[in-house]
Amino acid sequence: MVVSNHHLIAQGIKRAFKTDDGTELVALSDFDFEVKQGEVVALIGPSGCGKSTFLRLVAGLDTPQSGELTYNGSPITGPDPNRGFVFQQANLYPWLTVEKNVAFGLKANGTYKENRHRVQEMIDLMGLAGFEKSYPHQISGGMAARVAIAQTLVMDPDVLLLDEPLSALDAFTRAVIQDEILAMCVKFKPIVLLVTHDIEEAVYLADRVVVLSPRPGTKVAEIPVDLPHPRDRISSEFIAKRHEILDALRFE
């Protein structure tokens, strides 16, 4: 096993947005957070609690107004293939085939030649074999979500940021892809930050669940989930965890 040295630390993060009428909308305030390699952390909370904002900050797509956000000790200043991001909707490039979508990042940073075998590896891992030459409009939503994950994994990221990647899928497909994500975590041991609305998904995948409250978005609870994998969704311990999180989400 790799030595657990990758770590991400957030301290006192604040991010506010100007609305059209000039008022300030505080999306995230006084947010402290820490995660180390191999950990899967779910961020859960109602809309407007800043969970997606935080993910964009970690990705380097946005910068905080105050507070410190460091990865392995150095501040995050911009996007990096090492911190992969899977967006809410798959949003694949419609003009590229599945295979070329997966290969996009390698071609973009010029490492396609030495890593081309990884493309097929990821296609196989995510169960996309046989659809390499299909265009995005020809595949299902579940397939598209898999391609989006494969597209990110092919870059071999140390941090995987998942912004509700499965929210648009049906329950069955979601359960299947959740297991694929778990298998991938065991294999690559990345830091995983998962933003979700789905309490069951959070308990099923995460080692730790961070509960956020809205306006201003801030952390209200951190609940460890120490159940062994594979987790039984209808066991009493699992359901007890779901209750615990649901209780934490009932803020005034």
Partner 1 sequence: MMSTESVFGKVNFIEAKDALKLLAALAAIAVAIGFDALVPTVYPEGYVERYYPIFLRILFAAYLALSVLSVWFPGIRRRVVRYWGLLIALVALLSLYTYQTTKTGNLLLPVMPSPDAIIAAVFEDGAKVWKNFSASFTLLLEGVACGFVAGMIYGTLMGYSRFFNYWLQPIIKVIGPVPSTAWMAIAMVLAPSSHIASVFLVALTTWFPLSVNLSGGIRGVRKVYIERAQIMGASPLHIILHVIYPAVLPNIFTGLFMGLCFSMTSLVGAETLGVQAGLGWVINYAQGWNEFDLIFSTIIIFILMAFVLLTILFKCQKHLMKWSKGAIQW
Task: Name the site residues for partner 1 (rule: CB under 8 A).
Answer: 59-61, 78-81, 83-85, 87, 89, 91, 93-96, 104-105, 107-109, 135, 137, 151-152, 155
User: Is there a contact between 203 and 34 (Cβ–Cβ < 8 Å)?
Assistant: no
Minimum Å distance from CB 9 to partner 1?
A: 20
Residue with tokens 């890593």: 115
Minimum Å distance from CB 16 to partner 1?
A: 20
Residue with tokens 């290969």: 103
Structure tokens at 110: 């010029």
Nearer to partner 1, 11 or 89 (CB): 89
Minimum Å distance from CB 116 to partner 1?
A: 15
* CA 129 to the chain's CA centroid: 24
Nearer to partner 1, 84 or 216 (CB): 84
Nearer to partner 1, 147 or 209 (CB): 147
Q: Which residues sit opposite 68 in a β-bridge? A: 11
CB atoms within 10 A of CB 188: 16
Cis peptide before 224 (omega within 30 of 0): no
Minimum Å distance from CB 214 to partner 1?
A: 23
The single-letter DSSP state of residue 158 is: S
Task: Report the number of secondary-structure helices (H) and strands (E) in the chain.
Answer: 7, 10
Nearer to partner 1, 99 or 200 (CB): 99
Minimum Å distance from CB 232 to partner 1?
A: 35
Nearer to partner 1, 139 or 220 (CB): 139
Task: Tell me the H-state helices in 35-169.
Answer: 51-59, 98-108, 112-125, 141-153
Nearer to partner 1, 22 or 110 (CB): 110
Minimum Å distance from CB 245 to partner 1?
A: 29
Judged by phi (left if over 0) then psi (alpha if -120 to 50, else beta), residue 49 lies in alpha
Q: How many residues does the chain have?
A: 252
